[in-house]
Amino acid sequence: MEAGISETHARLLTRLREFGSPERAAWDKNYLKSSWQHWGVTAPQLDQAIREIVGRPSNEILPLSVLLWRKPILDLKFAATRILAGKSVAPSAEIWQFVLDRMPELDGWAIADSMASVGSRCLTADPRRLDTVEDWVESPHLWTRRASLVFTLPWTKGGHSPERMLGWAAKLSTDPEWFIQKAIGWWLRQLSKRDSVRVRQFLADHGGPLKSVARREATKYL
């Protein structure tokens, strides 16, 4: 390990420990239902520590994020994804590989959504990566299946065709998992802001198996 990366890593851990709160950690553990340890660092505190210690992007960014992720501490995994999701960090092939390598380790909605902030940027930078995401629809891993929709939320906006993801949503419509149903509704809700007709058509064609949470979300703006 390069001395610079090791030093930055140590300083960041020290700063995040300073921000940690046992009370907040207990609340996070109960709310987020993660199997990892918790330090109780808030999102604004994570961002502050990253600004203070990590600074501008460099060749240390990815190795630092890998080091942070290795520890079984949710706050450090959040820090790793927040660093890589920075607007000034280019969504490179190496960062996309970081995402792919860690998908099986996701254990809850919060870290999955945090990883989505990295993965979505990689997908919009190179849509050919959607070929990989398509396989996620059939994954036995809940958070990987869910990521097929959450990572592709940019396709609900103008300039992108939503049809491929609507096909995935149709396949997932019979999935009994609450988080999958919620993700379907979330995707449709976002699409309805620009194409309510298409969402109504999807619901007419595939809405039968959807659970109430999906239908409620999907129709929020209709």
Residue 117 lies in a domain: yes
- Distance between CA 211 and CA 209 in Å, rounded? 6
Length of the chain: 222
- 79, with CB counted inside 10 A (0-12, 13-18, 19+), is buried
Q: What's the confidence (pLDDT) of residue 1?
A: 44
Residue 145 lies in a domain: no
Name the band, by pLDDT with cuts 50, 70 and 90, for residue 58. Answer: confident
Write out the two tokens for 109: 């909605």
Residue 209 lies in a domain: no
Give the tens place of pLDDT for each residue, 101-142. 999 999 999 999 999 999 999 999 999 999 999 999 999 999
- Distance between CA 9 and CA 63 in Å, rounded? 10
For the chain, report the end-to-end CA distance as a whole number of angstroms.
54
Averaged confidence pLDDT in the chain: 95
Backbone angles phi, psi at 114, to 5 degrees: -65, -40
Q: How far is CA 133 from CA 3, 61, 152, in A?
A: 36, 25, 9
Residue 43 lies in a domain: yes
Check: CB of residue 218 under 8 Å from CB of residue 184: yes
Residue type, 193: K
Q: What's the confidence (pLDDT) of residue 5?
A: 86
6 or 38, which is more confident = 38
Give the tens place of pLDDT for each residue, 137-157. 999 999 999 999 999 999 999
Instruction: Count how many domains the chain has.
Output: 1
Residue 207 lies in a domain: no
Is the pLDDT at 56 greater than 90, yes or no? no
Residue 53 lies in a domain: yes
CATH of residue 32's domain is 1.25.10.90
Please name every residue paired with 73 in a beta bridge, in sequence order, or none if there are none.
37
What residues have CB less than 8 Å from 148, skipping those under 6 apart?
Answer: 133, 134, 136, 137, 165, 168, 172
Residue 196 lies in a domain: no
Residue 31 lies in a domain: yes
Quick one: what percent of the chain has pLDDT higher than 90? 91
Torsion from C-alpha of 75, 81, 18, 58, nearest 10 degrees: 160
- Distance between CA 101 and CA 176 in Å, rounded? 26
Range of the structural domain that residue 115 is part of: 3-125
Is the pLDDT at 3 greater than 80, yes or no? no
